[in-house]
Amino acid sequence: MGKTCTDLFAGIDCTVIGNADEEVGGIAYRSDRVQPGDAFFCIVGLTADGHSFAQDAIDRGAKVLVVERKVYLADATDVTEVVVADTRKAMAAASANFYDHPSKDFSLVGITGTNGKTTTTYLVEHIAHVAGKRTGVIGTVGVRIGGAAEKTAHTTPESPDLQQLLARMRDERCDVVAMEVSSHALDLERTWGTTFAVTAFSNLTQDHLDYHHTFEAYFEAKARLFSKDYPAKRVICIDDKWGKELLRRCSTNEDSIVTTGFDTSAQIHPVDVRYAPTHTTVELDVRGSRYRFDYPLVGRFNVENVMCAFGIGLQLGFSPSVIVEALEEAPQIPGRLERVSVSCDGGVSVFVDYAHTPDALEKALASIMALTRGRTICVFGCGGDRDASKRSIMGKAALAADFAVVTSDNPRHEDPLAIIDDIVGGMGAGQGRFAVEPDRRAAIALALAHAKPDDSVLIAGKGHEDYQLVGDEVLSFDDRVVAAEELNRAFGGLLDDADAAVTLADPYGQASGEN
């Protein structure tokens, strides 16, 4: 499949210097991945300028350079240059052109917000599946196309990768695709040129301020998905001021909107909620009609996710009865309040959750405390090379537990002990109620050593991840597997490897066993 420059840049404001009929065989944004015949987009990044790699791209066979300023190279005489104002935005639009705008061929749901995106995408996928649709999912946990899973590098892939993925989903005849849309993706134009059927907002709490710097800038990045740049039906949780502001803007634009939330003015809101250790019973008011049902997820924040998914289902045209039927058998989401089950746990309940923001940690702890007869113990840390301002706030949030163990998360290129010091700086009021153990396995073992029957342990921060990032190393580490091993070590006596296996959640009912 190829496109001429004229076709590739249709609808894009640009100046073509050279052969407008030059055929492009692919799109590249890294010079080391250029294939002969590609168009190379010189992206001006946060740490490097792609214009500096133009010669390398030509040496590898690039026939078209897309630039923000003309590049003068001795070897570029037979290379077509396309000058644009913004290479990122042009790359996204050209990628959509290259793959013939695949998002127009199915219903694409874009979900944004700080917390709840992953769970909501999987709930939407399940609703669509029960409705008889072929589905796809794109997000933090990875990609699924019609039930086949694969990993991705970003929550929302770079625009050429995203459009290629959407094209695969089109070719696999997907009807509904649910995608997490990150603030980075919106700010970096990864989704530009993509057509959404529905966009949804969950909430906004502190995260990524190392990148966005202010809450306002963080919000405005998310809000782009609800602007005229991305026309669609909307689902908006109005429980915080940011959701209410989105509602105001979308109402001004006369968008089709379904509001959700505990706020009784929301079109979908709970009338009654009863929490249990294995499920939740909820009665929802949905535009004046009442629906009472059980679903196998726990915690208040999952009520928010269920309401959001319900609203998306309505905007996709599914009947309330089909939505309720699907939610009653909702899948366990990988690493989202996922319970670790072993044959002998000493009466201690262990949950693994991806909570890596102060708000998410508070909500996860509150949910577990509401289900726990005894004490709640928390194991957590903070990632390196990320928003350092939230570390002390995370430390303070963890004090909601009866006891906390501060440990290493994904330190990346930072000193783990320095990260821990930042966290402990917010825990001054909790002297005697927390311990520090930098080794994550040892920290999990320490938490279990403190636990007694009827206690619960929350291992927070990494969720579904099966690795730990230390410097340039990617170490094998899965909180769920390690917790199962330590549970067996603490309460199960001498067991063989087969007895120590843990069943990991698969949202599609296909369990995988790991030691």
What are the binding residues? 31, 113-119, 155-156, 182, 190, 386, 409-412, 461, 465
Q: How far apart are CA 166 and CA 168, in angstroms?
A: 5
Question: What distance separates the 2 farthest-apart alpha carbons in the chain?
Answer: 75
Between the alpha carbon of residue 466 and those of residues 5, 61, 334, 510, the distances in Å are 42, 37, 11, 18
- Partnered with residue 8 across adjacent β-strands are none
Strand 80-84 to 107-112 pairing = unpaired
Asked if residue 218 lies in contact with residue 197, where contact means CB atoms within 8 angstroms, the answer is no
**What is the sign of the dihedral through the CA atoms of 491, 495, 498 and 500?**
positive
Q: Which two tokens stand for residue 76?
A: 């570029």
Instruction: Give the count of beta carbons closer than 10 Å to the beta carbon of residue 227.
Output: 15
Pair of tokens at residue 194? 């993509």
- Beta-bridge partners for 504: 512
> Do residues 479 and 370 make contact, with C-beta atoms less than 8 angstroms apart?
no
> Which residues belong to the annotated binding site for meso-2,6-diaminopimelate?
386, 409-412, 461, 465
Structure tokens given for 235: 């689902």
Other beta carbons within 10 Å of 473:
8
C-alpha span between 267 and 248 (Å, rounded): 15
- Torsion, Cα of 8, 10, 14, 15 (10° steps): 80
Residue 201: phi and psi, rounded to 5, are: -125, 130
Is residue 207 within 8 Å of residue 231, measured between CB atoms?
Answer: no
- The CA distances from residue 123 to 203, 453, 512, in Å, are 17, 33, 20
Rounded Cα distance between 348 and 368, Å, is 12
| Spatial distance between the Cα atoms of 451 and 347, rounded to a whole number of angstroms | 9
End-to-end C-alpha distance for the chain, whole angstroms: 44
Q: Which residues are annotated as a binding site for ATP?
A: 113-119
Count CA atoms closer than 13 A to 376's CA, side-chain side.
22
CB atoms within 10 A of CB 317: 10
